[in-house]
Structure 1
Amino acid sequence: MRLIQFLTEDGRRAVGVVESADTIYQLNGADSIYQLAQQALETGTTLENRAREQLSDTRLDYQRIIEEGRLLAPIDHQDPAHLLVAGTGLTHLGSADTRAAMHAQNQKGTEESLTDTMKMFRMGVEGGKPTAGEIGVQPEWFYKGDGSIIAAPEADLVSPSFALDAGEEPEIAGIYLNDSEGVPHRIGFALGNELSDHVTERQNYLYLAHSKLRPCAIGPELLLGELPGNIEGVSRILRDGEVLWEKAFLSGEDNMSHTIANLETHHFKYAGFCRPGQVHVHFFGTATLSFGDGIQPRSGDRFEIEAEVFGRPLRNQLVVDERTIPEVKPL
């Protein structure tokens, strides 16, 4: 089952079950996936069962919702400060090569910079898939921001004026809700564009934290249940209506050096991430990116990321924010 969040024609929030590429059925009794998930927790059922219980006969045109700009991200929180966006890198087989080359290019091939990247990757290959009951090696981890950085599908991805790059990263994100005791529950998965500033990162690996403080997009659909082991997708950039760059990517645990469970363990082991009612969007890492092929996205370019299991593609246009950096003033 796949769910979406959207606005009705009169501007009310709603949740829908995707019936096909053209049709959704609206749910009764919940105006957000967050609310629906809370109801599932309170009644001791699964999110899918709760959705089926509240399925209405209201059949809607999916394409019309998209064309009228009424799609919402598949998860949000009424207070964005209570939604945390984070992620992990170097988790996909073969993903280290572009990253290592990027850092080596900047550092003129120094052994130290190359070793740091490859060492982290090898640690994942050797210890990222532990046997049941054990904890594997911890992955690279980064913070992106709170709920305010998530752009809706079809909406603009706004890169800050000071950014040196705004490169797409096609990924899968896990979506989580902590219950009243602070126990995290995975409610589903979504396609994501974990936009990053690769030029800033290339200057110095320690700038990785800065390079990740950028907007992102997820959706449009929330996939319930388990994630397939092998996911085939395509990432592309369109400029002036023409395909500028396109490449297939692989994801899912069959193509990763870590299990999803291991990535989750090393995120939610921190007590600060287990606060009741908190929502988490956690990116699992990318397998390909246009930056490795010398592409420099610019304002007006359109990102498209798709994988059949997630239904409709995730599409966003890049826009550069012209706002200046605020000056701190004494009080």
Structure 2
Amino acid sequence: MGITREFVALPSAGAPRSGVGGHPCQGVYHRPEGQAPRTALIATHYNIDFSEHYLASYIAERGLGFLGWNTRFRGGEPYFLADQALADIDTGVRWLRSQGVDCVVLMGNSGGGSLMATYQAQATAPLLVPEYTRSSLNPVIENLEPGDLYVSIVAHTGRAEVLTNWMDPSVVGENDPLSVDPALDPFSPDRPPPFDPEFVATYRAAQRARNDRITAWVRSELDRMAAAGHRERLFVVPRLWADLRMLDGTLDPSPRPVPGCYLGDPRRANYGIFGVGTVSSLRSWLSMWSLSESQCSTDQLRHVRLPALVIDADGDTGIFSSDTAKIVAALRDRPDGGDVPTHTISGDHYLTAPAGARATAADIITDWVRGHAG
């Protein structure tokens, strides 16, 4: 089956077309050639470009539409604000409706899982409140166009949760990326894996404490900036590739490579400069990364009244079986939760291997969607 790929570029509430011509919202609509599907998926991420998502062609080949959609924050992670991102997703959903799509499937992939969950929760019953020092939110989010189905595929529970699970709590000073508390150093040669339960518990508590310390500093820094007549600043968060599960295969056991993370060797990645959450503005920290302040998580699925499908990958080195279990639990915790079909695919996070993993995922999704699209 041939595929038509259409570039879609649109303004959004509070984000007009730029002076040089670019639109804040951009994406690519994949559909079967010569057809106008009545059912289509939309996939969006906090900042990653999803316009050419790896499942787009597979879905279109199976007869459905797929809009790989980008908000104004594509490539702009340090400036993310949840309400503005939800307004941009609304632009994409409404565009699909304008193309004759009756059934819009919100696909939450990787970080997009919690973002799409928050979108649908807000569309169902507006619940977001302004972050610290913000007086209001984008008014569009009070009337978002809801989706009809929800698909979670290799998704984690939220960027605040995943960042905290990955962060290195042995950092002594946030301004010194080489500072180490030996009692918490996961890479110490004197503490080889498997790690004992007491260390794991202490480590996890220290990770949450680090996140909370940064949040407290962010709030005080916002006050300091305001007192000086300023509004924002950027800051760096070092060492964010140190989830114990990246080093110890007995924790959340699976066929994943250990040691391993999305950048390869965890120790090298942890002391490098690439990764999620390394640079942030004060308000984006509260909106996206703070455990106590962020409103974007798959806990929002408790407010989502849609049929839902969950898929994970057994070789994932950053999202683990217990993460998937929390997503399923949130879906089942709804008043009308009921059965939540869950599938585990043999593959890595991006389903690049083994051969056929992406086709398998597309088959599962399209079969399930057709059974629920009405």
TM category (shorter chain) comes to under 0.3
Higher RCO (CA-CA < 8 Å; seq separation 6+): 1
Larger Rg: 2
Provide TM-score, normalisation by structure 1.
0.26
Between Structure 1 and Structure 2, the one with more strand by share is 1
Provide TM-score, normalisation by structure 2.
0.24
Between Structure 1 and Structure 2, the one with more helix by share is 2
